[in-house]
């Protein structure tokens, strides 16, 4: 399966030019247009083929790590550079190299506004946010994504790691002077969606309008909640904007990478007192599986009731699940047995999700201790 690799890019592609990092930006500026500078840079290392011998000694951190990741012609690479001209030039030079040795590979070099090291506030308010936006977009559009923070600023690494955790994407990077790849697999952590739900509308508004006033923030968010929400915003003067983390969390609420199953009180009784007692029937594993895999959900879909509710059928077993999707939640309204209700169970067990809602509340998160 083709891979998509998201790389942050530093300036190590310039190393064969023998220019002090301090002077690199001027060197690039003196060689406009930037593509000319990138060509000169590319020519300084293009003769070094991507092989064991050359990879660490003569080639850039990005090329080194991409080689270790095992890229091939069917892959796609995003090179995200700083907003500085030397950073962008290095990205273009890396792109030329990749296209030279893997002619079919799809490479995109983009500079990230605000990604620079002179102004920390701009880095956080703009650079990190834009980096996370571009990276989540790539994660959403393509499967089999790998995050590669080998190149680029150390200050960006924490955000890459967080991105990988929340989106369930693996990080791979090269270990400093070493030549081995370190992998940080998609870790089993999740962010506490429930705690933010009350403020989702407000975050949507900040995202839409780019910022809100500090006064509005304080009016909408009670004092006790502000500490909790602090990581999700940036404050500059009287303006509140979304932080990179805030954008990531909002994005995950809008387009969750996995659903979380919640059982109505009726469904709790249905599951524990009835269906789970059957041999060869594990309602919880089934609900977990359809929550984490869209494919499994689609396969299980049996009857679309039409009012947002669907009956799911696991396979040849007799258990049936009446569910709906609300945001990041999979609501489970009823769980029944076809052998009890009969083949026309969908006509017999009817739920009006609006009118009957009250009697199904609360939906409890499907996480339990049962021994």
Contact residues toward a copy of itself (CB under 8 A) are 117-121, 123-124, 153-155, 157-158, 160-162, 165-166, 171, 173, 175-178, 180-182, 184-192, 194-196, 228, 230-231, 245, 262-263, 265, 268, 272, 326, 329, 331, 361-365, 367-371
1 burial level (CB within 10 Å; 0-12, 13-18, 19+): exposed
All residues at 6 or more sequence positions from 188 whose CB lies less than 8 Å from its CB, including other chains: none
CB-based burial label for 296 (10 Å; 0-12, 13-18, 19+) = middle
Tell the smallest beta-carbon distance from residue 323 to a copy of itself (Å): 13
Residue placing its CB nearer to a copy of itself in the complex, 315 or 362? 362
CA pair distance 316, 18, nearest whole angstrom = 68
Please, which residue, 185 or 342, has the CB nearer to a copy of itself?
185
295 burial via Cβ count (<10 Å: 0-12, 13-18, 19+): exposed
Dist. CA 105–CA 95, nearest whole Å: 10
- Helix (H) or strand (E) holding 302, with range, is strand 301-304
Residues 191, 197: contact at Cβ < 8 Å?
no
Nearest to a copy of itself of 111, 363 (CB atom):
363
Between 18 and 103, CB nearer to a copy of itself: 18
Minimal distance in Å, beta carbon 108 to a copy of itself? 24
Of 21 and 342, which has the nearer Cβ to a copy of itself?
21
* Least CB distance to a copy of itself at residue 286 (A): 14
Comparing CB distances to a copy of itself, the nearer of 69 and 245 is 245
Query: Least separation, in Å, of the C-beta of 283 and a copy of itself?
Result: 12
**Cβ within 8 Å of residue 354, ≥6 positions away:** none
Minimum distance from residue 39 beta carbon to a copy of itself (Å): 28
For the bound state, the minimum distance from the C-beta of residue 160 to a copy of itself, rounded and expressed in Å, comes to 8
- Tokens for 194, please give them: 């429930």
Please report how close the Cβ of residue 217 comes to a copy of itself at its closest, in angstroms.
16
In terms of CB distance, is 176 or 280 closer to a copy of itself? 176
What sign has the CA pseudo-torsion 283, 286, 289, 294?
Answer: negative
Q: Which residue has the tokens 């909640």?
A: 225
From the CB of 124, what's the least distance to a copy of itself, in Å? Answer: 7
Cα(9)–Cα(153) distance, rounded to whole angstroms?
Answer: 8
Q: Are 13 and 82 in contact (CB under 8 A)?
A: no
Pick between residue 153 and residue 311 the one whose CB is nearest to a copy of itself: 153
């Amino acid at each position: 399966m083709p891979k998509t690799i998201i790389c942050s890019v530093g300036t190590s592609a310039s190393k064969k030019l023998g220019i002090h990092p301090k002077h690199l930006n001027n060197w690039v500026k003196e060689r406009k247009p930037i593509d000319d500078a990138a060509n000169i840079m590319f020519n300084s290392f293009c003769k070094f083929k991507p092989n064991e011998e050359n990879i660490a000694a003569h080639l850039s951190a990005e090329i080194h790590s991409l080689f270790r990741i095992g890229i091939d012609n069917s892959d796609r690479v995003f090179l995200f550079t700083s907003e500085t001209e030397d950073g962008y030039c290095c990205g273009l030079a890396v792109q030329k190299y990749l296209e030279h040795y893997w002619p079919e590979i799809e490479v995109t070099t983009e500079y990230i506004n605000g990604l620079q090291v002179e102004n920390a506030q701009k880095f956080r308010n703009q650079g990190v946010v834009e980096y996370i936006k571009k990276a989540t977009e790539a994660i959403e559009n393509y499967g089999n994504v790998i995050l590669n923070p080998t190149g680029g600023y150390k200050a960006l690494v924490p955000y890459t790691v967080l991105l990988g955790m929340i989106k369930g994407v693996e990080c791979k990077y090269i270990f400093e002077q070493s030549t081995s790849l370190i992998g940080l697999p998609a870790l089993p952590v999740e962010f506490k969606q429930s705690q933010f739900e009350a403020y989702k509308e407000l975050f949507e508004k900040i995202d839409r309008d780019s910022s809100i006033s500090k006064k509005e923030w304080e009016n909408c968010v009670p004092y006790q909640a502000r500490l909790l929400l602090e990581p999700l915003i940036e404050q500059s003067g009287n303006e509140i904007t979304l932080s990179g983390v805030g954008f990531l969390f909002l994005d995950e609420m809008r387009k969750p990478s996995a659903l979380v199953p919640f059982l109505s009180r009726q469904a709790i009784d249905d599951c524990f007192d009835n269906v789970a007692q059957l041999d060869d029937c594990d309602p919880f594993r089934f609900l977990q599986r359809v929550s984490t895999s869209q494919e499994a959900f689609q396969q299980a879909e049996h009857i679309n009731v039409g009012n947002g509710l669907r009956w799911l059928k696991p396979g040849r077993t007799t258990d049936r699940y009446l569910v709906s999707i609300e945001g990041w939640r999979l609501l489970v309204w009823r769980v029944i047995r076809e052998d009890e209700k009969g083949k026309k169970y969908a006509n017999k067990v009817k739920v009006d999700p609006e009118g009957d809602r009250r009697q199904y509340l609360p939906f409890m998160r499907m996480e339990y201790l049962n021994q």
